[in-house]
A and B are shown apart, each in its own frame.
Chain A
Amino acid sequence: MVKALTFMLALLMLSTNQACQAKVVVLVNPKNPIDKLSRAQVVDIYMGRFNNFPDGQPVSPLDQSPDSADRASFYQVRVGKTIAQVNAYWARLLFTGRVTPHRVLSDSVAVLNTVHLNKDSLAYVDSQVLDGKVKVVYRLKQGRAFQ
């Protein structure tokens, strides 16, 4: 079973020339009591549906810069939308005046730092840049990304 999964993972990594981009993970401050989020919970929070973690504490999601590979990968793989589609969606939300856009950070390092400092942060980075000061609550499963 484990061998089979490892084999599949290896196969996936081989089959994509952007294997490194695909390994986006969702993370929170280690002090945050949340240990795990479902895909739907991640999407609902990032798409502006919920402003709180499932346990009720407020959440402030962090976005990377619009042209970053991590951002494209996250939305493409996670939400199933292109960046342009996501931008259009947000434009509509912003038009109502009731939503504030996510805070945008310039790179992975800034993201990691922010998460490290803020208990209510929710962010995504490439798994390769992970350090021990954050808690991963959701790992992207590849394969569902390219539809």
Chain B
Amino acid sequence: MSDRLSFRIALAVAILALFGAGIVSLVSYIKTQASEQANAQRTLRQLGLTVQRTATIATYLDNQEIADDAIQGLAENDLVAAITLTSVNGLNISYGDSSAHSASPASIISPGSPVRVRLISPFTPDEVVGELLIYPRQEQIDRNARAAALERAGLLGGYTLVIAMVVMFVIQWQFVPTLKQVAANLHGIRPGSNDRLSMPTSHAQDELGALVGDINQLLALAQENIESERQLRQQIESLERRFRLIFERASAGIFLIDSRGRLIMTNPAFIQIVGDSINSRIVMQDVDCLTEIFADPESVRSIVQRALNNEVVSAEDLRLAGLEEEPRWVHSLFSRIVDDAEGHPDGQHYVQGILTDITRRKREEQLMRFHAERDPLTQLHNRRSAERELSTMLSKSRAVEGCLAICLIDLDNFKPINDTHGHEAGDKVLVTVAARMQGILRSDDLAARLGGDEFLVAVLGQDCRQMIEAVARKLLDTLTQDIELENGTCVRVGASLGIALSGRGNEDIAQLLNLADQAMYRVKNRGKNSYHIYQPV
């Protein structure tokens, strides 16, 4: 490569030198020839002026001898081809062949045209007495001019060539070897390494030295960049490793679904939660995964849609699909992810889901709620829970344009049993009564123990009055039957039922309870073991 470089420099210099020498030679040739022509003309004119005096006298006198005298001298000169001396009185002397010149019209205006010397009378200043024409020997002049021009051009061209050669050798000896060395050094240097170019000693101050310095700076910069990039790559790698670890080892199930509901990616925890068989059926398949995963895919789909639209992260407890006896629950967190990395200029939208198995927590929660809402002895709703349930039922009755009937039940003759047979016997009575109540009621109806021997049932329907009256009759029938205690003795309780119906301005649970209570006391006062529906007065 370096050999080629030096060859090309030599070639370029040679071409330039030849070109320059050619131009210089050509210009010099043209100028020299022109100046030689002018010189010849001047010489001829000087010759003419030299003999002017004699020629004047010759023409003044028309004297042949003097004329010959004048012309003879001129004719000796080898630049002169022909001479014509004419006087106004008719003298005409020619020497040489002037016709060749005057015959050719081109030569009149060419350098070959004669030098004309006007001859003025020596005694009368204004009188022209004759004319001297000196015809140049044009081919001789041309030859001389050409020779001089050639010599001059040759000299100048040679001079230019010599200078060019010297310049070329200086370049070859001074510049090219250093450049070769720098190039070879640079070729051997691996970017990012500590190697640098050595400064050429004789070129430390010139452009070559500056070039080497700049290259070294670039090398240092490259090394710095490569080093920092390497560190960055390491950081990214370790970060990636950590993220992958988080993804792989997370206890939460992580998955990614695209905007069409297809499952793109899952982690091991997800597979564990959802189950291997379901996972392998839906992951990376063109199916709607939500149907397979969740028990209520429609609501999940709307959650996913919300996440896609609003970027609102929605956290929900969701039930998983599956035929297991005990329902399984997951806490789910959905959020939108916009992948605006390369290849997705528009930003592919995904929904990332995070699942936590909360089946156990859910179970405990339900258990806790059960304990909080139920009377521990009878498993019926307690007073607080009952009031809440009643509110729900009341608003539901309005929705179906029906009515709510509540019935307060106070056991008669319970306290003597408790006192006589003890608390356990009392408890037994209460549990039996509760079981009998539940036996009568449908699953939608409410049964609660408000406290002590006070109970409540409530029904809901289009014709709640008939329904509650049927219930009341059954209750009176069943509750009053014998109850066998642990020790084999049988006891019997009675019941006073007070009923209130919603509607007609009674739209408040507390008010309804109050009315039912009034109705119940009315029964108690009348002789118990019966029911009464509160009638507005």
Contacts and interface: CB of A to CB of B under 8 A. Distances in A.
B123 A79 contact: yes
Given A80-B123, A93-B57, 5 more contacts: A43-B124, A81-B123, A93-B61, A93-B63, A93-B66
Interface string A82-103: 0000000100110011110000
A92 B124 contact: no
Interface string A9-31: 00000000000000000000000
Interface residues of B, number: 11
The 7 closest A-B pairs by CB, nearest first: A96-B65, A43-B123, A79-B123, A40-B124, A49-B61, A96-B63, A96-B66
26 contacts: A40-B123, A40-B124, A40-B127, A43-B123, A43-B124, A48-B61, A49-B60, A49-B61, A49-B62, A79-B123, A80-B123, A81-B123, A89-B57, A89-B122, A92-B57, A92-B66, A93-B57, A93-B61, A93-B63, A93-B66, A96-B63, A96-B65, A96-B66, A98-B63, A98-B65, A99-B61
A47 interface: yes
Interface of A: 40, 43-44, 47-49, 79-81, 89, 92-93, 96-99
A44 B123 CA distance: 9
A70 B60 CA distance: 25
Interface string B345-375: 0000000000000000000000000000000
Contacts of A43: 123-124
Nearest to B62: A49
A43 B121 CA distance: 11
A47 B123 contact: yes
A96 B61 CA distance: 11
B73 to A, nearest CB: 14
B52 to A, nearest CB: 14
Nearest to A46: B123
Interface in B36-66: 57, 60-63, 65-66
Most chain A beta-carbon neighbours within 10 Å: one of B57, B122, B123: B123
Contacts of A97: 65
A102 to B, nearest CB: 15
Contacts of B60: 47, 49
Contacts of B61: 48-49, 93, 99
Interface of B: 57, 60-63, 65-66, 122-124, 127
A81 to B, nearest CB: 8
A83 to B, nearest CB: 15
A97 B65 CA distance: 9
A99 B66 CA distance: 12
Nearest to A40: B124
Nearest to B129: A49
A98 B61 CA distance: 11
Nearest to B125: A80
A96 B67 CA distance: 10
Contacts of A44: 123
A31 to B, nearest CB: 29
A16 B400 CA distance: 167
A21 to B, nearest CB: 21
Contacts of A89: 57, 122
Contacts of B63: 93, 96, 98
A99 B61 CA distance: 10
A86 B441 CA distance: 180
A96 B70 CA distance: 12
A44 B122 CA distance: 11
Nearest to B63: A96
A92 B122 CA distance: 14
A89 B66 CA distance: 12
A128 B66 CA distance: 40
Contacts of B62: 49
Nearest to B65: A96
Nearest to A85: B122
Contacts of B124: 40, 43
Contacts of A40: 123-124, 127
Most chain B beta-carbon neighbours within 10 Å: one of A47, A92, A97: A92
A97 B62 CA distance: 14
A40 to B, nearest CB: 6
Nearest to A97: B65
